[in-house]
Structure formats: structure tokens, C-alpha cells
Amino acid sequence: MTTLPTLYIPHGGGPCFFMEMPPGVPADTWHGMAAYLRGISENVGVKPKGVLVISAHWELEQATVTSAALPGLLFDYYGFPEHTYQLTYPAPGSPELAARVRALLHAVDIPNAADDRRDFDHGVFVPFKLIYPAADIPVVQLSLLRNLDARAHLELGRALARLRTEGVLIVGSGMSYHNLREFFNPIDEAITASENFDRWLTATVTGEIGVRTRLLTEWRAAPGAFVCHPRAEHLIPLMVVAGAAMEDVGRCVFKGRVFGKWVSGFQFG
């Protein structure tokens, strides 16, 4: 039986892969990240039966899954070219996978719910238009917990680990650097913070499993952590996929600079 990996991917900035860069911004700003996303399906090697995505852009008090059979798209970005609000990604949902997720969470007494009206946010459809452009694999989205507690999300991931042997690809969609105030600012402090935090994060994710878990729960103590993540929502999807990885070693599968800041992607298994 194939055990699928778990992934923590960068999803870029808004609809960045589907628009030209404005004047003064290098045209190839997002090219490396886009190439990485396009290569994921080949790297995974087998076509998943379904995908469970934990996006940085959905937070609720309890873990909630999308349960609609045919979700729409939620254009939750602002100020971009008009055509980026006409993007499509008609991947089906999966009430069956949503029910399976809930059953696994119930089994370990994690409160959960289903939402049959929630559409896919841009942390889902923007990267997945590159990852699985045919939109022929069922996708279910799982919310973050509003407390953004690292330990709670590691436990959430561990509860869902069995999905990996059932043909489900578990993907955390965020950004390993996410400080919008400093993102476009080439000041040395922000660049140095991104280098320090990225170095720590890569060493942590690729290190020994027990140490990985401990350090991820204490990530706020890492060098540059607060500068890179004034708020944790774009990092916390990593905790879910690291939890679901169980004993699998992590490896860095993407690393690049965007506006001078280091951004990385990771894979477990």
C-alpha cells in the first residue's frame, strides 16, 4: 500500500502566478515558486484519490471541513487585475472525504464540524491550478484553529495521518515568510531575519523527529521568528503536515528569494 507524503507549500501572493508584475518588479519574481508547484504532481508520483488542504486563509474555533460536492472559489484578495477575479478551478469536493476527516477527529475527541457552503480560498485554488491543473482530483479544505497553537495543530495532523495510506495527499498551504509590512521593504533587518529563520526552520524540519516536534511547538523562540511571522497563520499549516508525517523525515524541496526574503517548501515522506 502506497503512503503518500505530506507537503508544506508556499502559495505566493494573491493570484501572483496568473498576472504580469507591475512596473519596477522583476518579471520573474514568482517563476521559481511556480516551477516548484508545477513539479509537485510528478514528484508525488501517484495520482491521489483526494487532497486535503490546510490553508492559511481559513480560521475557526474548531476544526472544520468543506463538505460541498461542488465548491466555488472565494476571491479573498484585493487590488489585483480584473482578470484574476475570473480564474476558475472546478475541482470537485468530496462529502465522503469530509466525513472521513471528521471520523478520524472524532476518534481522538477533537471537536470538529462541516461546512457545505464554504468555497475554496486562494490558498487552495491559486497553487492547485499549477499543481493539478486538470482539476480532476477531489479537494477538501480543513480550517485552522483560531488559537493558532502549534501543539494543537501537530495533534490535529497526527489524528489525520491514516489518510496518507488511503490515497489522500495532505497539503499545508502558507508561506514560510509572511510579514506583509516588510515583504516589499528591502531593509537589512528583514532580510537578515528571513535568512536566520529560514535556516532554523530548515534545520528543524529536516532534523530528528523528537527534536523537530519540540522545536516546532516552540517556534516563537527561533531567531527572526516574530519578524517573519508577526501573526502565525501562514506558518501553522506546517504543523498539521508535520504532525501527519508521524515518523517520516522532512526535507526541503523548494528554496528561493522573493523580494529578498527567503521562502521554503517542505515534504515529509
Q: Is residue 100 in a domain? A: yes
Residue 21 lies in a domain: yes
Segment among 172-176, 187-191, 218-222, 232-236 with least mean pLDDT: 187-191
Cα–Cα distance for residue pair 176/173, rounded to 1 Å: 10
d(CA 35, CA 10): 12
Per-residue pLDDT tens digits for 66-114: 999 999 999 999 999 999 999 999 999 999 999 999 999 999 999 999 9
Structure confidence at residue 95 (pLDDT): 98
Give the number of other Cβ atoms within 10 Å of residue 14's Cβ.
17
Domains identified in the chain, total number: 1
User: Is 1 part of any domain?
Assistant: no
CATH of the domain at 198: 3.40.830.10
Q: What does pTM read for this prediction?
A: 0.97
Mean pLDDT computed over 37-44: 98
- pLDDT band of residue 181 (cuts 50, 70, 90) is confident
The answer to whether residue 72 sits within a structural domain is yes
pLDDT at res. 187: 78
**Which pLDDT tens digit goes with each residue over 237-267?**
999 999 999 999 999 999 999 999 999 999 9
Residue 193 pLDDT greater than 80, yes or no: yes
Assign 180 a pLDDT band (cuts: 50, 70, 90): confident
State the pLDDT at residue 263.
98
Q: Is residue 30 part of a domain?
A: yes
Question: Can you give the pLDDT at residue 182?
Answer: 87
Q: Are 253 and 37 in contact (CB under 8 A)?
A: no
* Confidence category of residue 1, pLDDT binned at 50, 70, 90: low
Domain coverage including residue 60? 6-268
- Flag whether 149 is in a domain: yes
- What is the distance between the alpha carbons of residues 85 and 88, in angstroms, rounded to a whole number? 9
